[in-house]
Amino acid sequence: MIRTMLAGKVHRATVTEANVDYEGSITIDADLMDASGILPYEMVHLLDITNGARLETYAIAGERGSGDVCVNGAAGLLVRDRDLVIIMHYVQVTDEQEACDIKPKVVRVDGKNRIVSTSDKIEPNSYY
């Protein structure tokens, strides 16, 4: 059996740009990618807290320390500048014990997409 497990996420990031004319993807500050474990060109799920849109695309590393979270291509019609989003990526495992031992890298950010905290736990009923 293959299980798909959450490997990491950037929680409550603010979209800094939505560029419909750019070739598809999401550009993410390289510091946020490193902290959450997202690799360049890795598939990510994007959940828009502001409007409920959900989509998948791939990540492109943005300028380190810029706070950039730019939604590119057709996704820019679903996710707009200043929306709050969650960016998630996953890992697939076949070993039951490995699945049970997964500890996702959770990155919480402020309104300028600066890292506020990192954790390997997702707290129920937590704002951040």
β-strand pairing of 17-19 with 25-29: unpaired
Closest CA to 69 of 14, 108, 106: 14
Annotated active-site residue 25? The verdict is yes
| Residue 127 bears catalytic tag | no
Question: For the chain, first and last CA: distance in Å?
Answer: 33
Candidate list 22, 36, 41, 58, residue with the active-site label: 58
Nearest to 72 by CA among 58, 54, 85, 86: 58
List the catalytic residues: 25, 58
